[in-house]
Structure 1
Amino acid sequence: MNFHIQLTRHLTPADQAAGPYVYLPFRLPQPARRLHVAYRYSAAISSDQVHGGNVIDIGLFDPRGHDFPGGAGFRGWSGSARQEFTIGLEEATPGYLPGPLPPGEYQIILGLYRIWEAGAHVDVHVQAELDPTLDATAPAPPSLAPRRLPPLPAPTWLRGDLQSHTVHSDARGTLEQLVARARDLGLDFLAITDHNTVSHHPFLPTLADERLILIPGQEVTTYRGHMNVWGTSRWCDFRCRTDQEMAAVIRLAHAHGGVCSINHPKTGGPPWEYSTDLPVQAMEVWQGPWPHHNAESLALWDRLLAAGRRLPAVGGSDYHCPADKETNFLRLGQPTTWVQVDEPDVAGILSAIVAGRSCISATPDGPRLDLRGEAGGQVAVMGQSLPGQGGEAPVHFTVEVWGGQGRTLRLVADGRPALEQPIRQEQAIVHASLPVARYMRAEVVGDMDPALLPVDAPPVDLRGWRWALSNPIYITGA
């Protein structure tokens, strides 16, 4: 390395109150073959801890700029998961984008996640291997060629997981290890949603095949809530503090073909502190094992539906792939989202999610639900609408359940239980005519058998777990 600079900063709670991000600029006088950044800060604690120290995240923008939203010079982000990273012409530390390193002003971005009362002293060391003979052309953003799979009978149900993480953010497992686990479970699709980066996207086409559709994703991880973006390799900004700034990021995602979904709006999620009126296309109502406060997300979703909001529900495990054996309660495919698609590709899956033609099950093996309705001579499936019948006139519903034997089917009308019926067969069909004003959805409920818990599972309430959730059928003219 023939270039070195040290950047220092003392950060206080006042700095954090002024804004959650601080930039440390430095200038490369010539193109570089390699750039290495290492940082340390005082009183470092785990991001899971709330008190007693500091948590400071890190990332990098190159001379193309760091304007909000979606600064063109974004080169990567590692949160607080790494103390150093390297960017080269053809390779980079996971979470960062390889490519030319042109001369000009770079910005180290520090995220002030937690700053304790004593403040934090930060040291950043930047080293570079300069080479004036290099082409300084900026790297092109990653691109993905859509993979067309052999046609399937349409419409077809596919099962998959919509939130997962690898070594490209804060998990230890590789993309290859995550994909192997998905194949072992028989998943048809998998969204890989590493935090605040798209560095994993260029590798996805070579890992996907006719057995597994890989959805390019990113979890926009802000200090006020998380949001998945699926279906675009355009990096979507996380530097949001207000509803207006989050709306700008959503517009950016939509402009590049992305689908946006609120993640885990519940205690410990972390919760969603932005408005639920933002133009997202889905909500992660079920994240990880059911007792992890998912009842809060479900209750929020019911309130939104009862108020007239049409917002499809999805599930995601939030699985952080380990490098070796499973080490916690989170498991890939728990829960699993099922989608009914006309085309077995990324676009077909995302279209089904946006349309609400999907349901959620506790595991890849089910149980699974399908809900249909009929009123006024019209027929509707999940995500569609039926005309209101006025007063107490009932609407006819049919629910088909696979794998729910021994549990209870519950129909929920306008946020309140409208029918409960034991499921006594492996495949059951239930008919019901019920009054409904806004929406009807279905769920499978039942207690958890403690023998089915992992041996390292923490103490949890075994009562009233959800085993499957449908999306609603909406009622118009209410």
Structure 2
Amino acid sequence: MTKNIHFQLFLDKSREREYIRLPFDVEKDTESITIQYRYPSSPLREEGPFTIAGEPCTIDLAVMMPDGTMAGASGSDRSRIRLSPLGSSAGFASCELPAGTWHIIAGAYHIPSGGVTVEYELELTLKERRLFKGDTHVHTTASDGVLEPVEAAMLARRMGLDFLILTDHNNSAQNERLPFFQDITLIPGTEWTHYKGHAGFLGVKQAFRAPYFTASLQETADLFREAGENGAFRVINHPFCPLVPWEWDFALPFDGLEVWNGVMSERNEKAAFWWHRQLCAGRRFPVTGGSDYHRPGLLGSLAMPCQCLYAASRSQTDLMKALRRGNGYLSYLPTGPQADLLTLSPEGHPASFGEDAAPGASVEIFFSGLCQGDEIRLLTDTAEESLSAPAGAAELKLTRCYPDAHFLRLELYRSYAPGLPPMKALLTNPVYFR
């Protein structure tokens, strides 16, 4: 949704060399601001058969945020600028756009003797919930991967991905120089790599300063606490991997669990089963999935599985917020099946994956990208329902009500090739009935 603002400013000669503040209001959850302005740079007049150029006129442009911080300035060289956390015009900050009263700064550099009228047109685009696809577990040449961050981003763009979280082993220096692209979001991270287990510290450039090679449970707990205090989303990675299992048990402070690492396998099924038991016991934390990509291989690809997030925008802030809350699901490929869910919160607002729903509220469930034989499972702490997709099935729409359940999550099983047994192809985070 967009909001358009139009206004005019008349400047007479007496205001030359002034800086005039022009206020405009920005709502919460604004994704981008576009400002265009125009004025006659040299008013013309007719003199007999000739057109005579008038006095020169120059109006500069700058933008100030609600707290008085300058968002940027372009002088008079450009008549259109854009502000967004996903990339702003040159000379303007790329950052979240705070709500409040902003100001255009009109610099009245040269004003003709008869004055001038300047017209401003603003377009404010508001954020809206939509689906973004990416990978939360990617290695580069900063550790033992074969792709530079730029190469990983280029590959992800060709695959149609929206974001990558780069998680090199025990390193953070590379996060200080991540490349910037306007059409894909690169998010910093680190995979804490220890002989007794791995964990992803996601969303911050430097999660910890202490040595990564901890020697005791207390030292490890301190490192995890430091990462949390620094804003990292702490995910226990591939906890049931036979090569590097999680040996610290689950007493350390963590925020999420990677239940799907690489291709679907027994270790991933064990992780999903353990997580389901935790949900039934009343615990609440989201799950993630990541390819653990290092290099091309027979079963190695970016976004295998694909982390699918419903977020307000593709900014790092909104994507990490969605990941923390569990606002989405995992699919075995970016082109794999999709799912959505809509119900009402206890306050009567729309709610979906990772959020609170009112007990007994009607739940609308939607699947797309189905194939014949897909098995859809609806799982709560008290029951399980299974449906099989018939020949020609493409989508599924259901309405259900769970007055006695504490949560609902969805799974889809598919036979990846003729003769192979069905395997998990999609898994969602729950909606919680509170």
Range class of TM-score, shorter chain: 0.5 to 0.7
Name the structure 1 match of 2:386: 419
Letter in 1 for 2:268: N
Q: TM-score, normalised by structure 2?
A: 0.66
Say what the alpha-carbon RMSD is for the aligned residues.
2.6
1:431 aligns with 2:378: no
Q: TM-score, normalised by structure 1?
A: 0.60
1:350 aligns with 2:320: yes
1:211 aligns with 2:183: yes
Change in Cα spacing, 1:151 to 1:345, as seen in structure 2 (3 Å) is: farther
1:318 aligns with 2:292: yes
SS at match of 2:168: coil
> Aligned-pair distance for 1:415?
7.4
Deviates more, 1:145-154 or 1:406-415: 145-154
CA contact (8 A) 1:418 1:434 kept: no
Of the three residues 177, 200, 206, the one matched with 1:228 is 200
Letter in 1 for 2:384: P
**Structure 1 ranges of 4+ moved more than 4 A:** 145-153, 374-379
Output aligned runs, 1:283-322, within 5 Å: 283-291=257-265, 293-320=267-294, 322=295
Name the structure 1 match of 2:354: 383
- Residue by residue over 1:247-285, the C-alpha shift from the partner in whole angstroms, topping out at 9 and shown as x without a partner, is 212221122221111111113362222232433221111
1:402 aligns with 2:378: no
Letter in 1 for 2:379: V
| Aligned residue-pair number | 311
> Aligned-pair distance for 1:153?
4.4
CA contact (8 A) 1:152 1:344 kept: no
- Kindly name which structure, 1 or 2, has the bigger radius of gyration based on alpha carbons: 2
CA contact (8 A) 2:164 2:187 kept: yes
Change in Cα spacing, 1:245 to 1:438, as seen in structure 2 (3 Å) is: farther
Change in Cα spacing, 1:419 to 1:184, as seen in structure 2 (3 Å) is: same
SS at match of 1:238: coil
Higher share in strand: 2
Q: Which runs of 5+ in 1 are unaligned?
A: 1-144, 390-394, 451-460
Name the structure 2 match of 1:363: 333
Output aligned runs, 1:175-186, within 5 Å: 175-186=149-160
> Aligned-pair distance for 1:434?
4.2
- Counting aligned pairs with the same residue, the percent is 29
- Residue by residue over 1:181-236, the C-alpha shift from the partner in whole angstroms, topping out at 9 and shown as x without a partner, is 111111100001000001321231xx221111000010001111111011212253
Name the structure 1 match of 2:425: 467
- Residue by residue over 1:104-124, the C-alpha shift from the partner in whole angstroms, topping out at 9 and shown as x without a partner, is xxxxxxxxxxxxxxxxxxxxx
Letter in 2 for 1:219: E
Aligned equivalents of 2:213, 2:344: Cα separation in 1 = 46
CA contact (8 A) 1:409 1:445 kept: yes
CA contact (8 A) 2:238 2:267 kept: no
Change in Cα spacing, 1:384 to 1:468, as seen in structure 2 (3 Å) is: same
> Aligned-pair distance for 1:151?
5.5
Q: Which runs of 5+ in 2 are unaligned?
A: 1-92, 98-123
Change in Cα spacing, 1:147 to 1:213, as seen in structure 2 (3 Å) is: farther
SS at match of 1:319: coil
Change in Cα spacing, 1:467 to 1:147, as seen in structure 2 (3 Å) is: farther
> Aligned-pair distance for 1:365?
1.4
Aligned equivalents of 2:146, 2:421: Cα separation in 1 = 33
SS at match of 1:162: strand
- Residue by residue over 1:337-394, the C-alpha shift from the partner in whole angstroms, topping out at 9 and shown as x without a partner, is 11122232111111111111121111111211112345878553111223446xxxxx
